Amino acid sequence: MTSQAADSESQDIELIPQDRRPRHVAVIMDGNGRWAQQRELPRIEGHLKGVESVRQTIEACREFGIQVLTLYCLSSENWKRPAHELDFLMTLLRRYLIAERETLIENNLRLRIIGRRDRLPDDVQAEMDRTIMACSSNTGMTLCLAINYGGRAELVDAVSKIASAVASGKISPQEVSEELISQHLYTEGIPDPDLLIRTSGEMRISNFLLWQISYAEIWVTPTLWPEFGKKDFADAICDYASRNRRFGGLK
């Protein structure tokens, strides 16, 4: 991107009032493998290149005043992939948590991780806890990583907790509400996404934040994740700001 293009992009964003920008952006980062295959590289090279897109997207969120960024890092269905690729992804995740820890602290970012942790290696879980703790006093944007995450599994876990509370008499069936369910999701305390971005052109939700994206605006780009940059993110924000969000009503 030229400096002139970057300046134009920033000016476009500056024209959008803060209340027209999304508070929470969720991203399905798709296309790492295809990016590598197109270049006759191992799939793991796509994952390595995708880390740079993660950095650019976080920086764009900070610059554009986004409060929460949720990245779909590993789905519960991804365990079907070859063992060597999964081992590499776990190693890459561990390295990222260690390497980016000081950067997260310096940039006042909070870290949250959602998903079922039981299948993750112990050393990865340990680094997750260390990084979350290191960022616990930060007050800026929340970076939420969905790891071994599935939207249906999240709902099952929420229903199970609520059912246990009903069975023990802590709450009555009549008290079960949308608000109560939201309070038992992995994302409890985080506003629902306003904007869902999916790269690589696939027109699927892929079991991601099924409850939370009920009224999210969806923006799909054919760009593969390793090529996704700040300009792409800015395009998504500008498109979001141009939409008329009615939430079932009339304006």
**CATH number, residue 210:** 3.40.1180.10
User: pTM for this structure?
Assistant: 0.92
Q: What is the pLDDT of residue 3?
A: 38
Contact 210, 72 (CB under 8 A): no
Burial 169-202 (b: 16+ CB within 10 A, else e): eeeeeeebeeeeebebbbbeebebbbbbbbbbee
What pLDDT, on the 0 to 100 scale, is given for residue 11?
53
| Residue 245's pLDDT band (cuts 50, 70, 90) | confident
Evaluate whether residue 19 is within a structural domain. no
Q: What is the arithmetic mean of pLDDT over 137-150?
A: 98
Residue 139 lies in a domain: yes
pLDDT, mean of residues 200-220: 97
Domain count, the chain: 1
pLDDT at 2: 39
Burial of 214 (0-12, 13-18, 19+ CB in 10 A): exposed
Rounded CA-CA distance 98/128 in Å is: 9
What pLDDT, in 10s, does the model give residues 152-185?
A: 999 999 999 999 999 999 999 999 999 999 999 9
Answer yes or no: are the C-beta atoms of 68 and 190 closer than 8 Å: yes
Within a domain: residue 23? no
State the average pLDDT for the chain. 93
Q: Evaluate whether residue 167 is within a structural domain.
A: yes
Confidence of residue 9 (pLDDT cuts 50, 70, 90): low
**221 is a domain residue:** yes
Asked if residue 1 is part of any domain, the answer here is no
Structure confidence at residue 143 as a pLDDT band (50, 70, 90): very high
Rounded CA gap, 234 and 51, in Å? 19
pLDDT in tens, 226-239: 999 999 999 999 99
Residue 8 has pLDDT above 80, yes or no: no
Backbone φ, ψ for residue 134 (5° rounding): -65, -30
CB contact at 8 A, 86 and 79: yes
**What is residue 142's DSSP assignment?**
E
Whether residue 4 lies inside any domain: the answer is no
| Residue 6 in this model has a pLDDT that exceeds 50 | no
β-bridge mates for residue 198, sequence order: 28, 220
| Sheet of strand 195-198: strand arrangement | 110-114, 142-149, 68-75, 24-28, 195-198, 217-220
Helix (H) or strand (E) holding 68: strand 68-75
pLDDT on residue 15: 87
What is the model's pLDDT at position 1? 39
What was the pLDDT predicted at 251? Answer: 60
Catalytic residues: 30, 78
Domain span at 108: 28-241
* Residue 3 is assigned to a structural domain of this protein: no
Residue 240, Cβ density class (10 Å: 0-12 exposed, 13-18 middle, ≥19 buried): buried
